[in-house]
Chains A and B, each alone.
Chain A
Amino acid sequence: MRSHQLSIYLTFLALTLLLAATIGLSFVDIRPWNLWLGLAIATAKMLLIAWVFMNLAHSIGPVRVAAAAGLLWLSFAIVCTLADYTTRGWGETPEHWLRQTEHVESYDRVEPPQPEFQIPTASGRALDDSDLGSL
């Protein structure tokens, strides 16, 4: 068990070095790699904390699944959102999708719908508004 305590101290040392690396990276202009390297270092720190401090290394399978589930759904949210924003304005509708179509004039006329069923009355004619008074 002493070795576990030693691994906790070594992990803290590694985290401190990674923190120094993150700060150092911000003084070097290698855009756009600053962002990706910064996130990679943050991910390395997260894995160290989860694996050693949060004892994921000695956890049962369902615990590891629960740990991965949150990150998985967060990645879905970020990837799907970026899939929208990064592809906006990627090009107009392709030309061959815009074929001229024949204009059929009869399609412009809209016939009023005919009732399929009329309530029969004693006189044989269809029921209309004048019958409302006799109801």
Chain B
Amino acid sequence: MANEMSSEIAIPYDSADQQRSAATFGMWVFLATEVLFFGGLFVGYVVYRYEYPEAFRTGSAELNLWSGGAMTLLLLLGSMLVAVVDHLIAPSADNRSSLRGPVVRRLVATTVLGIAFLALEFHEYHQLIQDGRFPGHAFRLSDVSSDPLDGRSVEMFFTLFFCMTGLHAFHMCLGILLVGGMAVAIGRSEQPRSLANPMSVIGLYWHFVDIIWVFLYPLFYLVR
């Protein structure tokens, strides 16, 4: 086992542990920049919600709370499966039986859950666009009498909704490609454990995308 791992050590690392720590650290630094990437939009959300709280209640009432809840559950389930895979494939794991099957099954299930999430999201986008809730010339809302900006502040809610959930959906697409690609790579690999580091890094990305949604859900769907 030790020889198998040492053959995977890349320059300039002294040990497999050091290489794994470097990969994990690099990914966390990238995730910190991602927090700030989404951060600008979160700051915009805070400002507009502070200025127009009533518009956010009106806009949120147009969204399907249960659909958003189901989407959250799909992501949490996917995150759990990825965490188990990361645990099974880790070099320190004492599982000596064949792990290719269990790992690939869980990764494929995660990919399917991610696709189901996007399907629900795009269905909701479709409904909102049909109902005239997409910002722009076609935007319409029946009751704007109480709106300080004559309907535009509710439109701002939907601008933020489409921007933030759209950016999240883009990250989901990348995550699905990465997790699906990992399932294929592990399925073809003679030594699945040699892919422990890429799997760990991709897992961190998937969990991060999950965390972003954990905040988007109450901020958009549950405004009261």
Residues of A within 8 A of B (CB): 1, 4-5, 8-9, 11-12, 15-16, 19, 22-23, 25-26, 29, 31, 34-35, 38-39, 41-42, 45-46, 49-50, 52-55, 59-60, 62-63, 66-67, 69-71, 73-74, 77-78, 81-82, 85-86
A70, B214: Cβ atoms closer than 8 Å: no
Residues of B within 8 A of A81 (CB): 43, 46-47
B42/A70 in contact, CB under 8 A: no
Residues of B bordering A, CB below 8 Å: 21, 24-25, 28-29, 31-36, 39-40, 42-43, 46-47, 50-51, 65, 69, 72-73, 76-77, 79-80, 82-84, 86-87, 92-95, 203-204, 207-208, 210-211, 214-215, 217-219, 221-224
Q: Which residues of B contact A74 (CB under 8 A)?
A: 35-36, 39, 42
> Once bound together, how far apart are the Cα atoms of A74 and B37, in whole Å?
10
For A16, the chain B residues whose CB sits under 8 A away are: 73, 76
Complex partner residue of A53 from B25, B82, B215, B217, CB under 8 angstroms:
B82
Chain A residue numbers with a CB within 8 Å of B204 are 54
* B interface majority secondary structure: helix
Contacts of A63 in B (CB 8 A): 21, 24-25, 28
* Total inter-chain residue pairs, C-beta < 8 Å: 126
Contact B84–A5 (Cβ < 8 Å): yes
Interface of A is mostly: helix
